């Protein structure tokens, strides 16, 4: 008795469809996360200007032991406000996200680490999540639905012309 092997047939359409679907789903996921992260930072920056005021933010930073609180508070407030807007739009995403990740890591180490994990106790939970999400965009970029993508496409078109 002999065994006959039947060749496996693969369809290029079938094999690329999951990749295309994954790419589309990834684009949606990146966009949703980028928008939520951008709004979160934007509102935290806005809060530092309007609700707490810069003087109040400086005092709070000094009380928490943040070095150079008089300088750090306005820098962080501007970075969160403007950086949040830029993330929301997906503009300058890698640079802005890297800066925001560094700020969140600083907050984690300088302020929140001694309080443990949970945000209700003043712990690292929120700043860790914000740092990780920011790091994602620093490494991966803004994604397909962003101004960064539009700018890159225009640059590629200009380079070809």
Write the DSSP symbol of residue 121. G
- What is the residue whose two structure tokens read 């684009």? 27
126-141, pLDDT tens digit by residue? 999 999 999 999 999 9
The reported pTM is: 0.86
- Cα separation, 6 vs 29, in Å, equals 40
Interatomic CA distance for residues 74 and 49, integer angstroms: 9
Report whether 90 contacts 81 (CB < 8 A). Answer: no
Q: How far apart are CA 81 and CA 142, in angstroms?
A: 18
Rg of the chain in Å (alpha carbons): 22
Instruction: Give the pLDDT confidence of 74-118 residue by residue, as tens digits.
Output: 999 999 999 999 999 999 999 999 999 999 999 999 999 999 999
Nearest alpha-carbon partner for 47 in 98, 96, 84: 84
Query: Which contiguous run of DSSP H or E holds residue 138?
Result: helix 125-140
């Amino acid at each position: 008795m002999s065994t006959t092997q039947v060749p496996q047939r693969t369809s290029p359409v079938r094999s690329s469809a999951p990749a295309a679907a994954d790419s589309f789903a990834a684009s949606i996921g990146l966009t949703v996360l980028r928008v939520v992260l951008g709004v979160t930072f934007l509102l935290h920056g806005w809060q530092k200007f309007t609700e707490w005021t810069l003087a109040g933010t400086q005092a709070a930073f000094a009380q928490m032991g943040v070095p150079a609180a008089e300088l750090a508070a306005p820098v962080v407030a501007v970075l969160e406000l403007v950086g949040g807007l830029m993330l929301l739009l997906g503009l300058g995403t890698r640079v802005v996200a890297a800066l925001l990740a560094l700020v969140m890591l600083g907050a984690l180490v300088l302020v929140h680490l001694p309080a443990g994990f949970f945000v209700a106790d003043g712990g690292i939970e929120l700043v860790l999540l914000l740092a990780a999400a920011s790091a994602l965009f620093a490494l991966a970029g803004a994604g397909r639905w962003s101004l960064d993508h539009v700018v890159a496409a225009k640059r590629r078109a200009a380079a070809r012309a």
